[in-house]
């Protein structure tokens, strides 16, 4: 099959699911969002044992016209896509990508191909980030807060309350009139 041969030649893997398992990264995280649906369709054609001829034709034409081979074979680009799609705002505390990938592989049965946007994966990432934060970064933040003057603290707190309703509600529940 010409499509699978192209995939193997360009990626060194047999099909997209195997690629995602090898790199422990959701493949669709590595593609431009404006063509996500077309890439998904093309990857599905590669993944299937017996895809329709029309799907093979589409995939061959699309993958030839929209080359992403460098984006899915460069570990640096794959890692950037992983950080963007999986870690998001937790990237400041989850800095060891191999550790994160191993944690996910150990704690979920969700295939790496499907990690992007999966609720269980998001929950696990948040748990891991909280665990990491409670260790070293939390202590660093506390030392920094202790060294700030009162006006700087008020400025931070006001900014935090403006963007985080939960903190504002906690302050209201704490009592006192303002």
Phi, psi of 88 (to 5 degrees): 55, -130
91 and 17 within one domain: yes
pLDDT of res. 166: 81
In a domain, 140, yes or no: no
17 and 95 within one domain: yes
pLDDT of res. 101: 99
178 and 115 within one domain: no
81 and 49 within one domain: yes
pLDDT of res. 176: 62
104 and 28 within one domain: yes
Which structural domain, as residue segments, surrounds residue 106? 2-133
Q: How far apart are CA 77 and CA 128, in angstroms?
A: 23
Classified as helix, coil or strand, 54 is helix
Per-residue pLDDT of the chain (178 residues; tens, 9 = 90+): 799 999 999 999 999 999 999 999 999 999 999 999 999 999 999 999 999 999 999 999 999 998 899 999 999 999 999 999 999 999 989 999 999 999 999 999 999 999 999 999 999 999 999 999 888 777 888 888 899 999 998 998 888 888 888 888 888 888 766 5
In a domain, 161, yes or no: yes
123 and 76 within one domain: yes
116 and 38 within one domain: yes
pLDDT of res. 177: 60
- Token readout for 131 is 């665990």
158 and 101 within one domain: no
Question: For the chain, how many structural domains are there in total?
Answer: 2
- Give the residue from 12, 30, 28 showing the smallest Cα distance to 80: 30
């Amino acid at each position: 099959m010409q499509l699978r041969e192209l995939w193997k030649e360009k990626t060194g893997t047999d099909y997209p699911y195997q690629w995602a398992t090898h790199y422990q990264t959701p493949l669709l995280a590595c593609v431009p969002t404006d063509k996500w649906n077309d890439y998904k369709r093309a990857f599905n054609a590669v993944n299937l044992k017996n895809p329709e001829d029309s799907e093979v034709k589409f995939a061959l034409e699309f993958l030839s016209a929209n080359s992403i081979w460098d984006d899915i074979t460069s570990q640096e680009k794959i890692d950037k896509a992983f950080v963007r799609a999986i870690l998001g705002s937790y990237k400041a505390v989850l800095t060891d990508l191999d550790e994160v990938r191993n944690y996910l592989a150990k704690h979920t049965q969700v295939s790496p191909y499907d990690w992007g946007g999966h609720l269980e994966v998001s929950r696990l990432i948040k748990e891991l980030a909280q665990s990491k934060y409670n260790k070293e970064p939390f202590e660093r933040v506390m030392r920094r807060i202790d060294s700030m003057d009162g006006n700087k603290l008020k400025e931070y707190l006001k900014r935090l309350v403006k963007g985080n309703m939960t903190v504002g509600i906690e302050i209201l529940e704490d009592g006192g009139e303002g």
